[in-house]
Structure 1
Amino acid sequence: MKVNIRRQLSLKQSDLIKLAVICCALLAGSLTQNARAQQDPMYTQYMFNTLAYNPGYAGTREVLSIMALSRHQWVGFDGAPSTQTLTAHSSVGKNIGLGFSLMHDRLDPTRQTGVYFDYAYRLKINDKSKLSLGIKGGFNFYQNNFSSLSTGNVADDPALSGSDYNKFLPNFGFGLFYYSDKFYFGASVPKLLENKLDNGDIEVLGTSGKEARHYFFTSGYVFDLNDNVKFKPSVLARLTQAAPMSLDINMNFLLRDKLWVGGFYRIESSFGAIVQYQFNQQFKVGYGYDMTTNELSNYNNGTHEIMLLYEFNFTKEKVQHPRHF
């Protein structure tokens, strides 16, 4: 029996939304049985930092796009996490996208620096939508400095003895990103290898850790409320084996194609606000603020995230169908 390939590729957006929901539900049920912490950094402005976790996003802006982001979590809390990310990606030719990501993440007493390269190939689904398939490859340089921890009056804590080490952790992953003028859906596994984080046979603080494989699902839609106001709800689900699912729900409004204002809720974790301003076709600045909803809120001043985005887009004519993700 011959298969009508053209008909199969011409999926309606409603069908894709249903498929995305089903995939998320199935993976949520299969990957959340025991308890293990999330390891990859979280971002409040994830919808503008997609390349950090999905190589399929590379080149989809169709111009050279450079983004810098700095996130400082639980400000005022000694040794709190902080993350800095620099990404760059561009379309090369008609269907190819290339990307680069540099990430530094600190959560005392550990630090990791990641360098990754992305390659994506775009398939035209119909006149309004494309599917981009991407691969990511690179490494993390992982540093563990447990001996720097204060042990109070204990001069030599045996649990910390010999626990300092550095490790070079190569890895690779893949992702897909479907998008049109108004809708997008992405799924990715940025790190497939589960590299060991301990130092050989040494167990740090009684545990033997590894890089857990994370699964990311994201989706959003842009609604035109009137000529001056757009509404963009979006979600990001992060899953890893044997850990609770992390789910971000965002509601953002775009005013006169210049000012983004909105808020988000991270289930059973935090809530906050996002403000972004588009100065021109090239330059955008964003700020995000989080507050935790658990006991930690009594001991920190929230999380601050600053984003700078520059795109080499110098066309004078107004874009008929601008992308807002």
Structure 2
Amino acid sequence: MFFVFLHMVKIKLSLLFIAFVSVLHAQNEGLPVDLRQHNLTDSNSSILNPAFSSNYGNTHSVGLWSRWQWQTVDGDPTTFFLNYTGKINNSSSIGAGFYQHNTDVYLNTGGVLNYAYRYDFNDRASLTFGLNFFAYQQEFSGNPFQGDPQILLPFFTPSEDFILQFAPGVQFAYDGLRIGFSSENMFDYNMAEKEGNTASDEKIFLGTVSYDIPVSLGASDSTSVIRPMLYIKSIPTYDTQVGLSAVLSTNKFWAQAGYNSFYGIAIGGGGRIMKRFSIGALVEFGTDSDLKGNDPTVEFTTAYDFGRAVTRKKADRIDREEEPKEEELEQIADVDELSKELTKAEALALKREARQKDISERKRKRDSVIREKKANDDLAVQMRKDQKQRLDSIAKAEKNKALVDTQKLRMQQQMDSINTAKIAAENAAKEEQLQAELIKQAELVKQTEEEKPKAGEKYEEVVGEDGLKPGYYLIANVFGTKRYLDAFKADLTKKGLQPKSFLRSKNKLNYVYLGRFDSMSEARKARDSKFDGRYTEKTWIYRVVPK
């Protein structure tokens, strides 16, 4: 009974820890637990959708993909995938690999097997079914509370579980169009706990749509394609990810760019050496405000293609097909005889074509002379119009000059009389301005005395906060997470208040204020009166001084 009791306590503490981790991660915008393989577009993409292994052609290859999430490459990669993929025949492909993945809470280390089968409806359409089978050990990656080292869990004992996981996928292809659907954890089982590893509402799903557009970048390049792809990924407890990527793939290099609604913008590329060895890299920059301050994500990918698998029977069949047949040689001789008879007809056709060209050339010259004469006539008419306009402009300018001189003389006389009155007005204005400056300085001295913080008074002052009008703000609360900021403001709104907030660039915290005032006395009055009795909690004054 005592051991049973200890086992129950361990289970309850584990559940409490997992719930606590979930809450903390929700507050800090944690990292999704999926494989984060959305940037894989060609090699190693069987981990994105198991059916994609059929897209590699009749080849055998070894590939490596690693990802450093929000960190530099001198640390350990958060995701590591080493795999082999090969074709069994024209319809089936297999693969096997080793992978390690850090979910920010768990470190999963194990292997993966892949199988895909393609059914061809015709030369243009096909349907492929694929399956990835994962078997890995799951252990805690360390202290998940990296943001606050003061949080300790003295009663929790980390455990190492062995997980079996099935990830099915399907792909429909029609010419260059490809539509895929897959799940990373459709079925899973925890061998240590003797139960499913994830609940029915914790499954991860991915849908993709892509289209291959053939392009030609040179006389010797006939296999280049541009592949745009749109994908949607559903992850439990996180917003659905929507992404768009595009890759230009040639037999010498590839370049890609993409956008993910959570991870941001990605740019990458690589080269192919002797059409066998591929190596490339990708950098991903976070664009969401919640991800600012994180380092870029770096990915590294490489693959070596061993070439197509050709059996001995297939090689013999190719040799037999290349041997010329006697019937084909006779057909070639008949074609040569026919070409000699066609030369006479071609000569007559060329003669008629030359005569027609001569007639067309004479007509072109005649039309050119007519167009040139008409252009000269139009030019003469236009020159006469321009000459008349110039004469009219000169006469009008002389008339306007005389009028302007008369107006200048009249205006000078008026200015002389105005200047005398203006000087007197300026002297009076200077005297009035001097008196106003003296009054203003006295008011500033008085205001400075009022603005000094009193003993025991909570007060903060900054110079030139971006986006804020100088003045005195009555602060109600400060938040570091947008979720609690929105909840607090909503609660104040229900109480009839009109709260506002601003993000301070220095400490990345959101300040919620009840109102802004032009003087310290007004702000103190609002604070001491509990905002006219409408807000009874503690408040303090935050001053923004102009630069």
The reply to whether residue 299 of structure 1 matches residue 293 of structure 2 is yes
CA-based RMSD: 3.5
**Structure 1 unaligned regions, length at least 5:** 1-34, 201-208, 316-325
Partner in structure 2 of residue 219 of structure 1: 209
Partner in structure 2 of residue 51 of structure 1: 46
Report if aligned partners of 1:183, 1:220 keep a CA contact under 8 Å in 2: yes
Bigger mean CA deviation after superposition, 178-187 or 73-82: 73-82
Report if aligned partners of 1:79, 1:109 keep a CA contact under 8 Å in 2: no
Cα distance, 1:145–1:91 mapped onto 2, change above 3 Å: closer
- Cα separation, 1, equivalents of 2:73 and 2:273: 34
Report if aligned partners of 1:135, 1:172 keep a CA contact under 8 Å in 2: yes
Report if aligned partners of 2:40, 2:48 keep a CA contact under 8 Å in 1: no
Partner in structure 2 of residue 120 of structure 1: 116
**How far off is 1:285 after superposition?**
1.3
Residue among 69, 94, 97 paired with 1:98: 94
Cα distance, 1:92–1:80 mapped onto 2, change above 3 Å: closer
Cα shift readout 1:283-320 (whole Å, capped 9, x = no counterpart) = 211211001113465433301101001111169xxxxx
Query: What is the SS of the residue equivalent to 2:172?
Result: strand
- Cα separation, 2, equivalents of 1:94 and 1:251: 27
- Cα separation, 2, equivalents of 1:78 and 1:310: 24
- Cα separation, 1, equivalents of 2:276 and 2:51: 22
**How far off is 1:69 after superposition?**
0.7
**How far off is 1:122 after superposition?**
1.5
- Cα separation, 1, equivalents of 2:193 and 2:156: 9
**Structure 2 unaligned regions, length at least 5:** 1-28, 219-223, 310-547
**How far off is 1:148 after superposition?**
8.4
The reply to whether residue 276 of structure 1 matches residue 270 of structure 2 is yes
Query: What is the SS of the residue equivalent to 1:58?
Result: helix
Amino acid at match of 1:290: E
As a proportion of its length, which structure holds more helix? 2
**How far off is 1:268 after superposition?**
4.2
As a proportion of its length, which structure holds more strand? 1
**How far off is 1:152 after superposition?**
4.3
Cα distance, 1:164–1:199 mapped onto 2, change above 3 Å: farther
Cα shift readout 1:139-176 (whole Å, capped 9, x = no counterpart) = 2211015568677467xx3x452241111011213111
**How far off is 1:86 after superposition?**
1.4
**TM-score of the superposed pair, with normalisation by structure 2:** 0.44
Report if aligned partners of 1:109, 1:148 keep a CA contact under 8 Å in 2: yes
Query: Map of 1:166-315 to 2, 5 A cutoff?
Result: 166-179=160-173, 182-193=176-187, 195=189, 210=198, 212-228=202-218, 230-254=225-249, 257-295=251-289, 297-313=291-307
- Cα separation, 2, equivalents of 1:314 and 1:119: 18
Bigger mean CA deviation after superposition, 303-312 or 223-232: 223-232
**How far off is 1:78 after superposition?**
12
Query: What is the SS of the residue equivalent to 2:41?
Result: helix
Bigger relative contact order, structure 1 or 2 (CA pairs below 8 A, ≥6 apart): 1
- Cα separation, 2, equivalents of 1:72 and 1:226: 34
Partner in structure 2 of residue 32 of structure 1: none
Cα shift readout 1:245-289 (whole Å, capped 9, x = no counterpart) = 1122112334x5422223111114311201121223222112110
Report if aligned partners of 1:118, 1:134 keep a CA contact under 8 Å in 2: yes
Cα distance, 1:114–1:53 mapped onto 2, change above 3 Å: farther
Query: What is the SS of the residue equivalent to 1:165?
Result: coil
Amino acid at match of 1:240: I
**Highest Rg: 1 or 2?**
2
Report if aligned partners of 1:234, 1:250 keep a CA contact under 8 Å in 2: yes
Cα distance, 1:164–1:173 mapped onto 2, change above 3 Å: same
**TM-score of the superposed pair, with normalisation by structure 1:** 0.70
Would you say how many aligned residue pairs link Structure 1 and Structure 2?
Answer: 270
